[in-house]
């Protein structure tokens, strides 16, 4: 539990740090006066001032912010955020989103160089060498030989043995052929669940379609040459963005049409639970988890909703189209404040759902 808590804080810390660092670097490059660069929300634990900026670590590690002069208040200072060109304000506003996408791409690049299972692509579509393969159980058919033997979703089958000898599985196709050709025979599978290894001996069914009774997927780690890894990681990042965008679209359609939060949507509690699960799998799984969350954070923040980066970008685009401020600063701040309140309400709703599911 302690390891899960520490990892949870580190995961959030990395995501938030990169996001806010994007805003911070863009603001500094544009010459904006950055008053404060903070990790977490108050109360304040530690701070130090370097030059014109105060660097802060706060007690609640689930957020962060870059406080720029003229961002939330009227200022005549030439270095205030509101007095910058539309282009500079646009770049500063979108920089956090870009930083999160870059973080995901960097993690996946390093992962493929070391050797990693692709998150959304088929291992066979990755131009590299398979260094390990696991057959992972995605679903168990009720009352099947697998169900009766105690095989569970998420379990890993590494090899199988009969009186004829032992076979190590190197592909899903090989596994499927093995179970099909040994129908009606007694087979012992080497099996791993939550890093606990065991052996499961069972008699395969004579059913031609489902002799074992599982839906399995191939989980192969692929090592990609360093010069190809950046492109492969970029392609994988793009596919993750596509899937995440589709999921978010379905989420909002269901939310506004039925007022219900779709299954699979989680808040801080769900992220904590998932952190505990990936910690058990290992370091590479944690890196992949950070990459997925980083893409999610990027796409959520780019939504044209008040209080999010996308909301600020929307106002800048409207201003560029009209060639003048279409909404007064005070009204815009009220809109962002109301949007922030609604955002907090949605997070509370999702967190409540997470807690209910946790107890269930």
Catalytic residue among 20, 82, 218, 236: 20
Phi then psi for 152, rounded to 5 degrees?
-130, 165
Which positions ≥6 away from 181 have C-beta within 8 Å? none
Residue with tokens 């999702």: 350
236 is catalytic: no
The catalytic residue positions are 20
């Amino acid at each position: 539990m302690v390891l899960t808590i520490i990892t949870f804080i580190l995961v959030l810390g990395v995501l938030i740090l990169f996001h806010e660092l994007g805003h911070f670097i863009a603001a500094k490059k544009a010459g904006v006066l950055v008053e404060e660069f903070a990790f977490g929300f108050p109360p304040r634990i530690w701070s130090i001032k370097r030059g014109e900026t105060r660097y802060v670590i706060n007690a609640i590690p689930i957020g962060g912010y870059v406080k720029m002069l003229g961002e939330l208040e009227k200022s005549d200072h030439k270095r205030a955020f509101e007095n910058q060109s539309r282009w500079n304000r646009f770049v500063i506003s979108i920089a956090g989103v870009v930083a999160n996408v870059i973080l995901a791409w960097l993690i996946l690049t390093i992962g493929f160089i070391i050797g990693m299972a692709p998150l959304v692509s088929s291992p066979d579509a990755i131009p590299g060498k398979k260094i390990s393969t696991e057959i992972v159980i995605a679903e168990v058919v009720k009352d099947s030989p697998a169900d009766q033997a105690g095989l569970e979703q998420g379990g890993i089958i590494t090899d199988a043995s009969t009186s004829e000898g032992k076979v190590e599985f190197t592909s899903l196709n090989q596994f499927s052929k093995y179970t099909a050709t040994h129908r009606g025979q007694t087979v012992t599978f080497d099996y791993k669940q939550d890093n606990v290894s065991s052996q499961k001996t069972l008699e395969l069914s004579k059913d031609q379609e489902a002799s074992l009774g599982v839906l399995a997927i191939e989980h192969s780690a692929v090592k990609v040459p360093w010069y190809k890894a950046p492109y492969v990681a970029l392609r994988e990042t793009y596919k993750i963005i596509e899937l995440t965008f589709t999921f978010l679209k379905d989420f909002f359609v269901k939310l506004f049409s039925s007022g219900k939060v779709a299954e699979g949507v989680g808040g801080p509690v769900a992220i904590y639970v998932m952190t505990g699960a990936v910690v058990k799998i290992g370091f590479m799984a944690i890196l992949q988890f950070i990459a997925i969350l980083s893409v999610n954070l990027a796409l959520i923040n780019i939504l044209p909703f008040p209080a999010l980066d996308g909301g600020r970008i929307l106002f800048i685009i409207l201003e560029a189209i009209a060639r003048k401020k279409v909404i007064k600063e005070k009204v815009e701040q009220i809109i962002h404040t109301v949007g922030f309140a609604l955002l907090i309400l949605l997070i509370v709703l999702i967190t409540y759902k997470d807690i209910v599911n946790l107890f269930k």
